[in-house]
Amino acid sequence: MLLADEGGWRMVRGLRSAGALAAAAGLALGLGLLISAGPVRVLVAMAGATVVALVVYRPLIGFLLVIASLPLDVSGTLGETALTNLSITKALAGLTVGAIVLEGLIRHRPLGLRRFLTTETLLTAGLLGSLIASTALHPTQQSVAEILRQMVILLFVLVIVYFVDRPGRLRQVAWVLVVTGTVVAAYSISQRIMRPVSISEEWIAQAGAVLDVGEESLGEMLRTTGTFSHPAWLGLFLSICIPFTLGLCWPCRRIGWRVAGMAAVVLQVLGILSTYSRMSYIGAALAVALFIHRRRLGIGLLMVMVAAAIVAFPAMPDDFRNRVYSILEYRQSSSSLSRLGQQLAGGYMFLDHPALGVGPGNFEDRVMGYERRVPAALEVQPIGAHNMYVETAAELGVPGLVLTLLVLVASARQLRRSRMVADRGGEKSQALLWEAAGIGLVVFAASALFVHAQYRKEWWLLVGLAAASRQFMVAAAREHRPEARTS
């Protein structure tokens, strides 16, 4: 009797799964038919239905696809229809969350809410509360939009904690980042070789603030963006990918895998060079230097690399050398002076509104009101602060700035603890990946001094990994507990 009941329940669950899968695939097919993809509309719809079926069958696939789609912030828009604001990343994220809920309902899989209550997730939720409080004081349409963005980020962090619950998942995330970063870097290099005549409207409109080499007058995209909307975003993504690539290829015993890994690093570095992003140059150099330091390869190797860069520098293109010179000779760089002006205006904005700031997303609308307080040599424009910390302080006040810094510090400390626990447990490859995540977070923290990137999901991915790493520490403690008792 019990066996019959169990068999009946299995049949019911199977029918539920099949029905949900068919409904989701039908919905994807319908949405796909709305996408303006010309004669291949039906093929696009069928591809979408296939992806939906795979994600519903195994939500992990959707999670990995979300990470792989992070660079698609320009080419990932689903057509010029009512779905214009729906990107591929958002669609995949929503689909993945739906698959998680469906999996819990059908398989009665408990979520284990306690594992989601980490220092990192609570601080992220606190930052969301800071945005809501600031918006209540300075309500605008842009502020509401920023609240929604932070809510998506909080959900993104929680999804990472849900999926990255074992060492194999961490390795899968690292591989997806490395492969995606290498492909995007190769595409960026191909852009420079083919020298396309299109220019991203987002950053050419800000040419006076971000360019020094006159790309707008040449009519060519000398600063490549890959699939991103801005060269800086491409450089930031690749700078974070570099330590993961080194972390995966370094412990490989086979020469072929090591060579492939180093080739991927070279491609990523070349992709960064093609962006002409000074922030990315600093980030990439910091990533490599920290990895060498952590591997205890010696100051000698680092000096050899610096000497090689100095020798090769005169052979670099003039535009590249001018970008590097502008880091040191900032007083002769219009973009550097403009950034200093933006940050000084942001500082005055923070001093005028220290409690809750001027409201999230309101910096660009308010900054021109501080133009008279900034020296004439420093240009002020209605754009971002080019400094995440300054812009966060100006928009959210002291609470937002403190919470942002606490997220960075808490995540860095947790990644360090996870590396040490894995190292003591003999999990060298896992320790190396936690170390790579920690280096990536340091690279981002340094890069954030030059760009307003508080909502970039690349660094929130690292925060999510830090929050997920607590599960690894609990598992390691359970494994060593019997040994402690027997000894």
User: pTM of the full predicted structure?
Assistant: 0.81
pLDDT at 335: 67
pLDDT at 123: 95
Q: Could you give the 3-state DSSP secondary structure of residue 88?
A: helix
Q: What distance in Å separates the CA atoms of residue 394 and residue 346, rounded to the nearest whole number?
A: 6
For residues 146 and 360, is the Cβ–Cβ distance under 8 A? yes
Q: pLDDT digit of tens for each residue in the chain (487 aa)? A: 444 444 444 444 444 445 544 554 555 444 444 444 444 555 555 556 666 666 667 788 888 888 888 887 544 444 444 444 566 777 777 777 777 777 766 666 666 778 888 999 999 999 999 999 999 999 998 899 899 889 989 999 999 998 898 888 899 999 999 999 999 999 888 877 776 544 444 444 333 333 333 333 333 446 777 788 788 889 999 999 999 999 888 887 788 888 888 899 999 998 998 888 888 888 998 998 888 887 766 666 666 666 666 666 666 766 666 666 666 665 666 667 778 888 888 899 999 999 999 999 899 888 888 888 888 777 788 888 889 999 999 999 999 999 999 999 999 999 999 999 888 888 888 889 999 999 999 999 999 998 888 888 889 999 999 999 887 776 655 555 544 444 4
Give the residue carrying structure tokens 């590249």: 320
For residues 379 and 208, is the Cβ–Cβ distance under 8 A? yes
- Number of helices (H) and strands (E), helices first, in the chain? 20, 0
pLDDT at 31: 47
Q: Which two tokens stand for residue 388?
A: 């995440």
For residues 397 and 354, is the Cβ–Cβ distance under 8 A? yes
Q: Which two tokens stand for residue 267?
A: 């491609």
DSSP 370: G
For residues 118 and 467, is the Cβ–Cβ distance under 8 A? yes
Q: What distance in Å separates the CA atoms of residue 365 and residue 358, rounded to the nearest whole number?
A: 10
Q: Please, what sign has the CA dihedral across residues 430, 436, 439, 441?
A: negative
Q: Could you give the 3-state DSSP secondary structure of residue 244?
A: helix
Closest CA to 232 of 458, 461, 460: 458
For residues 408 and 440, is the Cβ–Cβ distance under 8 A? no
DSSP lists the bridge partners of residue 77 as 87
Name residue 173's amino acid.
Answer: V
For residues 452 and 391, is the Cβ–Cβ distance under 8 A? yes
How many alpha carbons lie under 13 Å from residue 394 in its C-beta half-sphere?
Answer: 26
For residues 181 and 268, is the Cβ–Cβ distance under 8 A? yes
